[in-house]
């Protein structure tokens, strides 16, 4: 039963994040866990504790993250990334703030949450996947693994607790949710950002057409990212996207629900049916897919946490538009005027020196899932996908490797507990 904290002082829990992947896989599960363990606004209108979301600047954000999060009904107030600097300067412009609270870093640049906690005078906790960059200004560090703690200066290690991988909780009960109709299912994940969609949509549509010829019984699932829409997919498959002219596939129509599928579906020009899942996150349906074809990004971590075998695709023949890199590389690649030239050079350099690109491979430090980087073609990828689907033992081997990396569930609950422990300390400041 949720507990209502004693005392008449008001408090705020502020989750700080950036892009669509972090919102779906970190922010939403944690927010739901906090509501389960405490009475919080907006779900408990009389509670003295408000749960808020602050989005921070990020080159990979789509701009619709605030709208997506608003639909969840989990947050008392949401501040968009475009308003972040105004928030730092004049917090009062964005509604009343409790005099005490806790800021929780869940994506983006860790320095933004340091600034925000200092500006609001709140306690601060960082969820650190690989490194905690500002331990001096953190009351707590919640680490994904022991390596994060070992990298900290000794005087700050007492502040760090290893809670595990937040993504490990994704697979809990996922297969029982939204069971797919019988058949051999393959997931298509073209990305959620424009730079990836303009390549991923036409590439994967043609791949699906070719695989449908090789495996007539194969069924296709395309989870629509919360920051895009089927109509936008139609745009990227059409003549308004110059890259689409490099591929044979097209979208002939979008059809409504039918007895065979409860949602909408795409019909390609070749007649391939691709079923859409428009109610993110699609963890249940994805977990039932035999294989996924995906771009790089947070979706590789999501698939890995669900134990879904995958082929990770980076078609380098379109480097001029592939500017969806993180950090300063992504910022430079978007400079006006020189954007195309700099984007091409930076992407080429990044690919040549990339190490691993998929999150399961980065986490393991070895090749767990195949990364197909180069001038790859839909024909070649369709053939490779056919070979994987025809080898259940290979798929099971990759699935077992992914599950061994995932760790035990419970990180979301542990992080919620760390936040709860900071609330009384915030009251006594």
pLDDT tens digits, 393-423 = 999 999 999 988 877 789 999 999 999 999 8
Is pLDDT above 80 for 345?
no
User: pLDDT tier at 159 (50, 70, 90 boundaries)?
Assistant: very high
**pTM given for the model:** 0.72
| Residues 250-268, mean pLDDT to the nearest whole number | 94
Which range scores top for mean pLDDT: 167-176, 325-334, 389-398?
389-398
**What percentage of residues in the chain have a pLDDT greater than 70?**
86
> Is the distance from CB of 36 to CB of 73 less than 8 angstroms?
no
Q: What are the Cα distances from residue 155, in Å, to 118, 146, 158, 374, 394?
A: 21, 16, 7, 46, 46
Q: Give the chain's mean pLDDT.
A: 87
Could you count the other beta carbons within 10 Å of the beta carbon of residue 237?
26
Using alpha carbons only, give the angle 196, 202, 207 rounded to the nearest 5 degrees. Answer: 110
Is 258 or 338 the better-scoring residue by pLDDT? 258
Average pLDDT over residues 3-14: 64
The confidence score (pLDDT) of residue 403 equals 86
Which one, of 15, 3, 1, 108, lies nearest residue 54 by Cα? 15
**% the chain with pLDDT above 90:** 64
* φ and ψ of 163, to 5 deg: -105, -15
Buried b / exposed e over 352-376, threshold 16 CB at 10 Å, is eeeebbbbbbbbbeeebbbbebeeb
Q: Which residue has the tokens 């929780």?
A: 104
pLDDT of residue 233: 95
pLDDT at residue 219 greater than cutoff 70:
yes
Segment 191-199 shows an average pLDDT of 86
């Amino acid at each position: 039963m949720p507990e209502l904290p004693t005392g008449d002082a008001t408090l705020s829990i502020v989750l700080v994040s950036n892009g669509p992947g972090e919102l779906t896989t970190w922010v939403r599960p944690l927010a739901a866990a906090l509501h389960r363990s405490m009475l919080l606004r907006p779900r408990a209108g009389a509670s003295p504790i408000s749960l808020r979301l602050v989005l921070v600047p990020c080159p990979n954000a789509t701009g619709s993250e605030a709208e997506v999060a608003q639909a969840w009904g989990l947050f008392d107030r949401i501040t968009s990334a475009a308003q972040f600097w105004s928030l730092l300067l004049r917090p009062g412009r964005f509604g009343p703030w409790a005099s005490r609270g806790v800021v929780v870093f869940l994506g983006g640049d860790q320095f933004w949450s340091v600034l925000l906690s200092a500006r609001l005078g709140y306690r601060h906790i960082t969820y650190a996947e690989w490194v905690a960059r500002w331990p001096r200004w953190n009351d707590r560090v919640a680490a994904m693994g022991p390596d994060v703690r070992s990298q900290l200066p000794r005087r700050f290690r007492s502040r760090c607790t290893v809670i595990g991988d937040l993504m490990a909780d994704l697979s809990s009960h996922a297969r029982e949710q939204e069971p797919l109709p019988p058949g051999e299912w393959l997931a298509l994940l073209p990305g959620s950002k424009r730079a990836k969609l303009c390549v991923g949509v036409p590439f994967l549509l043609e791949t699906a057409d070719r695989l449908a010829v090789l495996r007539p019984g194969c069924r296709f699932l395309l989870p629509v990212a919360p920051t895009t829409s089927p109509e936008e997919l139609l745009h990227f498959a059409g003549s308004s996207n110059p890259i689409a002219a490099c591929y044979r596939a097209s979208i002939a129509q979008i059809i409504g629900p039918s007895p065979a599928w409860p949602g909408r579906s795409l019909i390609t020009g070749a007649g391939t049916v691709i079923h859409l899942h428009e109610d993110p996150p699609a963890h249940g349906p994805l977990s039932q897919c035999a294989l996924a074809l995906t771009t790089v990004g947070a979706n590789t971590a999501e698939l890995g946490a669900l134990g879904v075998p995958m082929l990770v695709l980076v078609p380098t023949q379109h480097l001029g538009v592939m500017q969806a890199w993180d950090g300063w590389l992504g910022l430079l690649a978007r400079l006006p005027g020189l954007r195309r030239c700099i984007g091409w050079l930076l992407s080429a350099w990044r690919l040549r020196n990339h190490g691993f690109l998929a999150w399961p491979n980065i986490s393991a430090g070895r090749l767990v899932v195949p990364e197909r980087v180069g001038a790859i073609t839909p024909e070649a990828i369709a053939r490779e996908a056919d070979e994987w689907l025809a080898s259940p033992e290979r798929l099971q081997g990759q699935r077992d490797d992914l599950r061994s990396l995932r760790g035990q569930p419970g990180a979301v609950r542990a992080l919620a507990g760390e936040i709860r422990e900071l609330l009384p300390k915030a009251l006594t400041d």
